[in-house]
Amino acid sequence: MSSAPSPSAPALLLVAHGSRDERHSATVGALAARVRLLLPGVRVAACYLDFDSPSVPAALEELYTAGVREAVAVPLLLTRAFHAKTDLPGVLAEVAAALPDLAVRQSAVLGPHPLLTAALERRLRAAGLSSGDAPRTGVVLASAGSSDPEASAVIADMAREWRRTTGWCAVRPAFASAAQPSTADAVRELRAAGARRVAVAPYVLAPGRLPDRIEAGALEAGAEVLAPVLGAAPEVARVVVERYAAVASGGGATVGAAA
């Protein structure tokens, strides 16, 4: 059992994208539970930008009613795009301006991070890859996709770094939406380049429409291995704690506070 939240510790607000798929909120709930075990002195709440409840305003209002006057919002997002740059800061500032004495600071998004790459590798091993398969295996790093060029560039950089630091014969980025190549096309490209086996590693947090599209592309193109989503992996929880701690200890800009 966790101890009571420390009055000096900012609350942690986990902000997920949200989905009509119930598996998404179940995954976020499991991740929140794992984070609570790692931060027994911190009040941890989860909320969503869209589709699910509670919304960001509702979660902040509930924390405020409970006496919270300082919170750190950690976006459960893997790349820095519109939601992290514009959407979430706007919502946080609007809510905090309406709640006297409430200060909210936003952390960096979760990725990229070596722990997330480690989680991807562990998921691939659990899906059936062994260390001996690496020299003959091409990996598709499949993300949700974004129209933001910065987000797409981050995925491409991750793919290059993953290839450089491991024994995979190649690592190719792929996107479920808004950018190219698709998962199926990336699988075919690896096959054409000589990969004897192809594995798809979904770089997504929770199940939903876009992860389902990644799975469909992997099956369509005949990938031999498909890893599950990152989910409530212990590595993800550790990254959340790291992002929270960096802001709670004095980093990060205040996006909302009473004048």
Instruction: Give which of 226, 129, 146 is closest to 183, Cα–Cα.
Output: 226
| Structural domain includes residue 94 | yes
Distance CA 196, CA 200 (A): 14
SS3 79: coil
Residue with tokens 């790459």: 117
For residue 33, what pLDDT band results from cuts at 50, 70 and 90?
very high
The strand pairing partners of 202, in sequence order, are 142
If asked whether residues 161 and 249 sit together in one domain, one would say: no
If asked whether residues 81 and 154 sit together in one domain, one would say: no
Cβ contacts of residue 46 below 8 Å, gap of 6+? 13, 14, 15, 16, 28, 29, 31, 32, 59
Mean pLDDT of the chain: 92
Q: What is the residue range of 54's domain?
A: 11-110+234-256
| Structural domain includes residue 171 | yes
pLDDT digits over 135-179, tens only?
A: 999 999 999 999 888 999 999 999 999 999 998 999 999 999 989
pLDDT digits over 88-134, tens only?
A: 999 999 998 999 899 999 999 999 999 999 999 999 999 999 878 88
% of the chain beyond a pLDDT of 90? 83
| Structural domain includes residue 178 | yes
| Structural domain includes residue 2 | no
pLDDT for res 255: 62
pLDDT for res 82: 72
Distance CA 150, CA 107 (A): 18
For residue 3, what pLDDT band results from cuts at 50, 70 and 90?
very low
pLDDT for res 252: 60
Query: With contact defined as beta carbons under 8 Å apart, do 75 and 120 qualify?
Result: no
Distance CA 217, CA 225 (A): 12
If asked whether residues 99 and 134 sit together in one domain, one would say: no
How many structural domains compose the chain?
2
| Structural domain includes residue 120 | no
pLDDT digits over 43-65, tens only?
A: 999 999 999 999 999 999 999 99
**Above 90 in pLDDT, residue 200?**
yes
pLDDT for res 254: 63
Give the residue, 13 or 249, on which the prediction is more confident: 13
pTM of the model: 0.92
If asked whether residues 68 and 29 sit together in one domain, one would say: yes
Rounded mean pLDDT, 186-215: 97
Rounded mean pLDDT, 204-226: 97
**Above 60 in pLDDT, residue 253?**
no
**Above 60 in pLDDT, residue 256?**
no
| Structural domain includes residue 169 | yes
pLDDT for res 2: 38
pLDDT for res 65: 96
Alpha-carbon distance values, 108 to 14, 75, 89 (Å): 12, 7, 12
Here the CATH number for the domain that contains residue 78 is 3.40.50.1400
